[in-house]
Amino acid sequence: MYDFDAGDISLDFANTNNWHASAAPEDYLNNYAELVEWGVQAGLISAEIANQLNQIAEENPADTAKVYEFAIGVREAIYRIFSNHYAGKPIPDADLTLLNSVACQAMAHLQLTLRGGKVHWQLPADLEGVDFILWPVARAAADLLTSDKALRVRQCEDDRGCGYLFIDQTKNHSRRWCSMESCGNRAKARRHYSRVQASLTS
C-alpha cells in the first residue's frame, strides 16, 4: 500500500497523501494506527514497538489522536517545503519552524554508535513516547534540505495534480514523473495522440 521509492524517507512520508496537488487527494494515513503501520513498513520501528504504541493508543485515544493530527501537520509542512523549493517559491516560515522544532527533538536524542567499523549518528531503538516516529522523518527532511540532494528534488509533472515528490537520481537529471508506469505513460500517450491529431489536420 505504501510507496517507498522517493529516495528519502521524508519524501516517502510526504507522499502518503496520494495525488497531493489535486483537488481530491487520497490520504493513506487516516488514523494513528495507520501512522504506526507506516512506521513499521518504513523500517522506523519494530513490530514489537508498534504493538506497544497501539496499546498506548487504545488506552489514551485522545492523546494519540492529537499526535496523529500533529503528524499530519508535519507531513504537510514537509510537503510544502519541498514542493515550494522545487518550484522556486519561498518556503513558508511556519513550515520551517515546525520542521525545525521536531528535528531538534530528534537531534537531542541522537547517539553515536559504531556500525561496520564506522561511527554513525543513530536514534536509539528503545525510545518512549507516541510521537517519536516523526523524529527520524524530521531529521531526514532537515538533512535533505541542507544537502546538495535538495537541488535534485522533483515533483511529478502530471497535470492532474499527482504531486509526487522524489529525488531525481538519473544520470542526466531528466526524470519528470513519479513513474513511467502511471503518469509517465499517460503523458507519453497524450503526446502521441496530439501528434496523430496534428498530422490528420495538416
**pLDDT tens digit string along 28-40?**
999 999 999 999 9
C-alpha separations of 92 from 17, 41, 70, 80 in Å: 19, 30, 17, 8
Alpha helices in the chain, H assignment, sequence order? 9-14, 32-41, 47-59, 61-87, 93-108, 134-145, 185-201
Least confident of 89-103, 148-162, 187-201: 187-201
Q: Which residue has the cell 512520508?
A: 13
What domains sit in the chain, N to C, each tagged with a CATH number?
A: 9-173 (1.10.3300)
pLDDT at 124: 72
Predicted TM-score (pTM) of the model is 0.87
Contact indicator for 84, 14 with CB cutoff of 8 Å: no
Res 27 pLDDT > 70: yes
> Kind and range of the H or E element at 154?
strand 153-155
Residue 65's pLDDT band (boundaries 50, 70, 90)?
Answer: very high
